[in-house]
Structure 1
Amino acid sequence: MKLNRSISLMLASTAFISIANAAFALDGNDVLAKLNALSSPNGTSFAAQGSEVDGTTVKLSGVTVTMSSIDNKQLPIGDVTLTGVTEEDGGYEIEKASFSDLNVVENGSGIHAKDIFIEGISLPAQPEPGTISSLMLAQSFHVGETKITSDNKEVASIGAFTADYKMADDESKLDMEAAVSDIKIDTSATPDPKAKEAIEALGLANLNGALTMKGTWTLADGKMDVTEYALDFENLGRLDVNFSISGYTLEFVKSLQEAMKAANDNPDKAAGQQAMSMAMMGLMQQLSYNGASIRYDDAGIAPKVLDYAGKQQGVDGKQFAQSIKGMLPLLLAQLNMPELQNQIVEAANAFLDDPKSIEVTAEPAQPMPFPQIMGTAMGNPADLAKTLNVQITAND
C-alpha cells in the first residue's frame, strides 16, 4: 500500500510539473510582440518567419526589420537567438540576443560583420510613454570584426564596436560608454590623381585609429553631457568633441516619438515630413545649450601639410606658414568681430609656429534656450560669439 501511494504521489508530481511547465512556457510570438511594442514608437518594427522555444531560449528565424527612417524598407537580418529569457510581471528579461553574421553585398560593394549581440534587454508588459519603461535600453551592445568592401576590395575595417549602458539604482541617471577599436582605412585606391598624390605625400595611404565616447544622461532635467567623443588616428591626430544640453527629458522623448509616429502614419509622406519638421521646431524650444568644445591635438600631420602646400607654391613649409599668418588678419576683417578675430589670429600664429593643439570652446555663463541662440544668429550674428563666450586657444 505504501509503495502504491508513493508511485501515485510520484506520478501526480510529474503530472503537476508537466502542467506547470506548459503553463509557464515561453511564447516566442509574444516576445516578438513585446519587442515591437517597445520599438515601434521609434519607427522600427520586427517580423519573423518562425519561432522556436527550448527552455529559456527563444530562436526567431528569418527575422526582418523595417525602419521608417529608410522609407520603411524591409531589411533581412537572419536568425536571432534569445538566451536566458525569463518572464517578469507580464514582460520579459533577456540575458543575451545573438544575431547572425551580417553579409550584405551589392554590385561589388558590401559590409561584413560577425559576433553581433546585445546583452541585458528588458521588455516591459506595457511600455508607458514618458517613462523609462518606454525606452529600448540594454546593458551592452557588441559588433565584432567588420569589413567594408568596394569593387570587391577591402577598403576599411574595424576590430570591434562596443557600447555599455549603466542605469543608476534609482533610475535617475544613465552612464554611457562606447568604443570602436582598430579602425583601418585604405585610401590608396582613390581614383582622383591629385588626391592620390596628396595622400602619398602625406603618408595617409593607410589610416589606423580608434573612436571613443563617454556620456551621462540625467533624466529629471534631461541634461545630456557628452564628455568625450574622440577620433584618434596614428600620425594624424586626435579630434575630441564635447557638448552639453538640457531639456532632453522623458517627456521630450515621448513627444518626439509621437511626432515620428504621426509622420509615419500619414499616407501623404511629404505632408508627414513637413509636419515632422514643424514638430521638431516646436520641440527645439524645450532644449537649452550648456556648452561645447572641439579640440585637435596634432600627431605630426600639420608640418607635412604645410610642406606639401608650400611645395605647390614653390616655398617650404615655414615660408608657407608665414604667408598664412600675413593673410589671416585681412581675411578675418570682414567678420567685424574684433575680439574673436584677435583670438583666431593669436591661436593660429601659435599653432603654425609650433603645431601641437588648437581648441575652440563656447560656454555661456548660463544655459541658453536654443530659440534664443537661433534668434541671435539671425538678428545679430556678430553678437553670437560674445553670447556663447567663444574662446580659441592653441598649444594649451
Structure 2
Amino acid sequence: MRFKTSVPAAATLLLLLGSTSAFAVDAQAFATRLKAVAAQQNVDLSYDSAEAQGDNVVLKGMTLASSGDKGKVGDITFEGVTGSTEEGWTVKRIPIADIDVTEKDTHTTVKGMTIEGVQLVGTQAKDVPAALQFTDVYFDRAGLGSLHVEKGGKPVFDLTDASIANSLGKDGVLASDIDFGTFKANFANGDPETAKRMHDLGYDTVSGTIGGSASWDPQKGLLGLDPFEIDIENAGDLSFSYAMSGYTPAFIKSMQDMQKQMAASPEGKQAAGMAMMGLMSQLSLNSADLVYSDDSLADKLLTYYAQQNGMTKEQLIQQLTGMLPPLLSYLQNPDFQQEVTNAVTTFLKDPQSLSISIEPDKPVPAMQIMGAAMGAPQTLPKVLSMTVSANDVDQEDDNGAVPNDGDMTNPDAGSAGGTGGSGDAGVSGN
C-alpha cells in the first residue's frame, strides 16, 4: 500500500523499511545488503557512511529515490542487529525520528514511528518460506503514534495509533492486521466552500477508524481481505471483502519481471500489455462482498439535496428510483435490473444497509470476467453469481465474511499482513 503525505521522504522511509530492511554487526555488509534489497523494491538507496555502535548500525546521510522522487532521509539507527548476509539479518527495532515540517501555511508533525522484528533473508539461506522468496524481507510490526496537520494555525487533520502487524504461520500462510488508527478531519478549518457544504450536511468534523485483516497462502495461491472497513461516526460503515486464487509466488515474480521490462523498454508497451493480459489469466475471483451500513449519512444527503433542488425528500427519492430502470437498461438483463431497482428503492426509503455480493459456486477466471464485461455485459451478474440486496436482517455483524475461502483461515498466523514487492497487492507493507 502506498500513501503520500506532505513529507514523502519520511513516509517512503517508513514503508521501505517496513518491507526492505537489513542488518549487521558488520555495518558495511549490512548496508550493502540493505541497498540490494531496496533495489528489489525499485528503490535506490544511498548513504554517506555505515557505522557500527555495539549491536546497533547507523546509516548516516541516507537518501531514497523511487519513480523519479528523491528525498534526503538523514541518519537512521538499526537497533539490535545480528546475523550475516549469507545466513540472514535480524533487527529488533528501527526507531524513526519525529518529523516537523512547515510548507507555506501548512504545518505537519509525525511522531512515534517504529518498525520492529525485521528479518532479511540470507543469500544462502535454506528452507525460506514461500511468502518471503520474492521479497527477501519480513517485519513483525510497523507503527505510527500520531500525525497532526494544521493549516493557518488551526487543526485540519489528526491520525493516531496506526500500525501494520504481520505473522507467518507454520503452514506458510502470511497474515496481516492493518490498522490505520483513529482519524479526525476538521472541515471547518479547511477550504471555505467545502466547510460550508459539510456544515450544511451536519459534519463540521468527521472522525472514525480504518482497518482490516488480510491473508495470503502462497502454496495455494489464495489471497484474501476479510474485511477492510471504513467506519465513520454518525455517518456509516463501508466494508469490503474478497478472495482470489492464482496469486502464487511464480505469478508475482512474473509480474515483477514484466514491470521491469516495461520500465526498460517503454516503446514495447503494447506487447507488454498483451503479456500482462496473459498473466492476469492465471487469476480467478473466488468471492467478494461490498456492504454499506448506514448511520444517518443517507438521510442527511437526501435531505440536503432535496433542499438544494427545492423539493421534499420523498420527491427526491421518487425521482432517483425512477431514473434507475433507464440507467440499467444497457445491461439488457431485466431480472438483475429489477433486483437492483428493488434494493436501491428499499434502501432509500429506509436506509439501513446496502450490499453487493459475489458468490460463485467455483472461482471465476479473470479473463472470463473481462470477456463478459466487454462482450456481453448482460451476462456478468450470472457469471459472477452477483446479488444486490438492502436492509438484510441476516447480515453478519462483521459485514464481510469471505465465502468460499475456507483455506484462508490460519489459526497459527493470527491476522496481520505484509511484506511485498512491487507486484504484491493486498498483503503488502510497501
Query: Matched residues in 2 for 1:273 and 1:76: separation?
Result: 32
* Segment drifting more, 329-338 vs 287-296: 329-338
Quick check: which has more Rg, 1 or 2?
1
Query: Matched residues in 1 for 2:299 and 2:247: separation?
Result: 42
For 1:144, the equivalent position in structure 2 comes to 145
For 1:60, the equivalent position in structure 2 comes to 59
For 1:386, the equivalent position in structure 2 comes to 382
Verify the 8 A CA contact 2:87 2:124 in the aligned structure 1.
no
Verify the 8 A CA contact 2:79 2:91 in the aligned structure 1.
yes
Relative distance call for 1:36 and 1:261 in structure 2 (3 A) is: farther
**Matched residue SS, 2:347:** helix
Verify the 8 A CA contact 1:130 1:250 in the aligned structure 2.
no
**Matched residue SS, 1:159:** strand
Letter in 1 for 2:185: I
Name stretches of at least 5 consecutive residues in structure 1 with no aligned partner: 1-24
Verify the 8 A CA contact 1:34 1:124 in the aligned structure 2.
no
**Matched residue SS, 1:188:** helix
Mapping of 1:129-168 within 5 angstroms?
131=130, 132-135=132-135, 136-150=137-151, 154-168=155-169
Query: Matched residues in 2 for 1:44 and 1:272: separation?
Result: 23
For 1:102, the equivalent position in structure 2 comes to 99
Query: Matched residues in 2 for 1:55 and 1:394: separation?
Result: 62
Q: Which of the residues 80, 89, 92 maps onto 1:92?
A: 89
How much has 1:91 moved relative to structure 2?
Answer: 2.2
* Segment drifting more, 206-215 vs 83-92: 83-92
Query: Matched residues in 2 for 1:199 and 1:52: separation?
Result: 52
Verify the 8 A CA contact 1:77 1:102 in the aligned structure 2.
no
Letter in 2 for 1:379: G
Letter in 2 for 1:159: T
* Segment drifting more, 89-98 vs 239-248: 89-98
Relative distance call for 1:148 and 1:340 in structure 2 (3 A) is: farther
Letter in 2 for 1:182: T
Greater RCO structure (CA 8 Å; 6+ sep): 2
How much has 1:153 moved relative to structure 2?
Answer: 5.0
How much has 1:59 moved relative to structure 2?
Answer: 1.4
Is 2:204 aligned against 1:205? yes
Verify the 8 A CA contact 2:28 2:51 in the aligned structure 1.
no
Verify the 8 A CA contact 1:48 1:64 in the aligned structure 2.
yes
Is 2:350 aligned against 1:354? yes
Relative distance call for 1:139 and 1:104 in structure 2 (3 A) is: same
For 1:249, the equivalent position in structure 2 comes to 248
How much has 1:334 moved relative to structure 2?
Answer: 3.8
Verify the 8 A CA contact 1:332 1:341 in the aligned structure 2.
yes
Relative distance call for 1:347 and 1:127 in structure 2 (3 A) is: farther
Query: Matched residues in 2 for 1:134 and 1:295: separation?
Result: 34
Mapping of 1:168-317 within 5 angstroms?
168-170=169-171, 172-189=172-189, 191=191, 193=193, 195-264=194-263, 266=264, 270-271=266-267, 277-317=273-313
Q: Deviations over 1:293-312 (max 9, x none)?
A: 11101111111111111112
Q: Which of the residues 330, 335, 338 maps onto 1:339?
A: 335
Query: Matched residues in 1 for 2:271 and 2:197: separation?
Result: 46
For 2:36, the equivalent position in structure 1 comes to 37
How much has 1:178 moved relative to structure 2?
Answer: 0.8
Relative distance call for 1:87 and 1:51 in structure 2 (3 A) is: same
Letter in 1 for 2:157: A
Query: Matched residues in 2 for 1:222 and 1:359: separation?
Result: 27
**Matched residue SS, 1:297:** strand
Q: Percent identity?
A: 30
How much has 1:43 moved relative to structure 2?
Answer: 0.6
Relative distance call for 1:66 and 1:273 in structure 2 (3 A) is: farther
Query: Matched residues in 2 for 1:169 and 1:99: separation?
Result: 31
For 1:9, the equivalent position in structure 2 comes to none
TM-score normalised to the size of structure 1? Answer: 0.84
How much has 1:186 moved relative to structure 2?
Answer: 2.2
* Segment drifting more, 220-229 vs 197-206: 197-206
Query: Matched residues in 1 for 2:374 and 2:129: separation?
Result: 34
Verify the 8 A CA contact 1:38 1:134 in the aligned structure 2.
no
Query: Matched residues in 2 for 1:272 and 1:149: separation?
Result: 45
Name stretches of at least 5 consecutive residues in structure 2 with no aligned partner: 1-23, 393-430
Q: Report how many aligned residue pairs link the two structures.
A: 364
**Matched residue SS, 2:277:** helix
For 1:318, the equivalent position in structure 2 comes to 314
Relative distance call for 1:77 and 1:215 in structure 2 (3 A) is: same
How much has 1:277 moved relative to structure 2?
Answer: 4.2
Query: Matched residues in 2 for 1:56 and 1:229: separation?
Result: 39
Verify the 8 A CA contact 1:41 1:258 in the aligned structure 2.
no
For 2:114, the equivalent position in structure 1 comes to 117
For 1:21, the equivalent position in structure 2 comes to none
Query: Matched residues in 1 for 2:322 and 2:261: separation?
Result: 55
How much has 1:154 moved relative to structure 2?
Answer: 3.9
Verify the 8 A CA contact 2:230 2:238 in the aligned structure 1.
yes
Q: Which of the residues 318, 324, 328 maps onto 1:328?
A: 324
Letter in 2 for 1:283: L
Relative distance call for 1:208 and 1:127 in structure 2 (3 A) is: farther
Query: Matched residues in 1 for 2:335 and 2:78: separation?
Result: 59
Query: Matched residues in 2 for 1:308 and 1:212: separation?
Result: 29
Letter in 2 for 1:292: A
Verify the 8 A CA contact 1:161 1:179 in the aligned structure 2.
yes
Letter in 2 for 1:180: F
